[in-house]
Amino acid sequence: MHKFLKVSLSCVAALSMASASMVVVQPGLFGTSIVAAQEGPVTLYQKYGAPHGDKSFASAVVAVQGDKIVAVDIDEYQFVEGDGWTAVPNADGEFGKAFPEGQTLISKDANSDKYSELMAEKAQATQKLSDNKQAIYDFVKGKSIDELQATVDELAGLGEDGNVSDVVSGSTLADTGGYIQLIMDTVKEGRSYEGAEGSDITLKQGLAAAHGDKSFAQVTVAMAGDTIVGSFIDEFQFVEGDGWTGVPNSDGEFGKAYPEGQTLISKIDNSEQYSKLMTEKAQSTVAYADNHKAIADAVKGKTVEEAKALAEEVKGLGEDGNVSDIVSGATLADTGNYIQAIVDVASK
């Protein structure tokens, strides 16, 4: 079981009028996918999907150099019953009050061993989830989208009696094609973030509580040695009212766990509406997505130590300081927390 890495922060007043935050980074499991031959600028692509039934949703981040995939990370989130699970950050805070009684929301990455045991009991799974996903990551790296399409077509043609591992060595997941399809869709349809140049790219991912206790954040960092070449942060929160876009499978079994009248959202996917809400509640002046782009741009190309110094500088401003004087384009009161979360994940 993984332990949270906790770092106390001195925060300026929180945008949502919450008290000072605690960054709580929860390790992911799939941080090492490397293609040494690729060089040049890195582009990160991100998208949510449902590659494995309707009881969970997935977040995919794909790093591309030129026309080749160099690294992938896919995590999935699911409500589970029972003890012994590592819950997402803020499960013991306001965020967790929305969970059904006796259930908690987990990251499958952070619970790979226990989740694999559950799948062995329920579906006779013979291989750990982490091993299956790593086999998929190893298979796709160095390939182009056209090459992956041929693989998806081949997997679709296997039928019920086909052997997935004959196509994707080391993977036994029946939904292997679904995961590869999500990787393809992420590059073709997902949001993109332009990173810095680098080689031997690795992706690191973790979860954090960087902004109060009503949400949790997924933090993904692309590294070239000790240099941050790209990053992506999104947060998940339960909201009330109409007009929101729920995470995938909100209309399926996963969504049946929601409190009546609420839905779980990605703040990035709902940046416009969430930003309007923050304008009303906390006089926010810059869109949520634009703030996080500014943060990603600020750490891009910096070493971990340089990013750490940046986080400390922002957190040292005090209530009267102007965040945008240090991080151009950012106005979030918790900007220092978000940068610290990037540093913590990059340091894993």
Range of the domain at 120: 5-346
Low-confidence ranges of the chain (pLDDT < 50): 1-21, 27-36
- Whole-number pLDDT of residue 160: 76
Number of domains the chain is built from = 1
Distance, in Å, from the CA atom of 175 to the CA atom of 177, rounded to the nearest integer, reads: 5
User: β-pairing, 215-224 with 201-208?
Assistant: antiparallel
- The radius of gyration of the chain's CA atoms, rounded to the nearest angstrom, is 20
- Whole-number pLDDT of residue 174: 86
User: Residue 257 — φ and ψ, nearest 5°?
Assistant: -85, -10
Distance, in Å, from the CA atom of 207 to the CA atom of 233, rounded to the nearest integer, reads: 9
Amino acid in position 16? S
Contact 62, 69 (CB under 8 A): yes
Distance, in Å, from the CA atom of 64 to the CA atom of 141, rounded to the nearest integer, reads: 9
CA nearest neighbour of 204 among 180, 178, 233, 181: 233
Which pair of structure tokens corresponds to residue 339? 């940068």
Amino acid in position 20? A
Which pair of structure tokens corresponds to residue 79? 């409500």
pLDDT tens-digit map of 60-74: 999 999 999 999 999
- Whole-number pLDDT of residue 320: 80
**Cα separation values, 98 from 35, 244, 306, Å:** 41, 17, 38
User: Residue 139 — φ and ψ, nearest 5°?
Assistant: -70, -40
In this prediction the pTM is 0.88
Sheet holding 103-107, edge to edge: 103-107, 68-81, 56-65, 41-49, 191-197
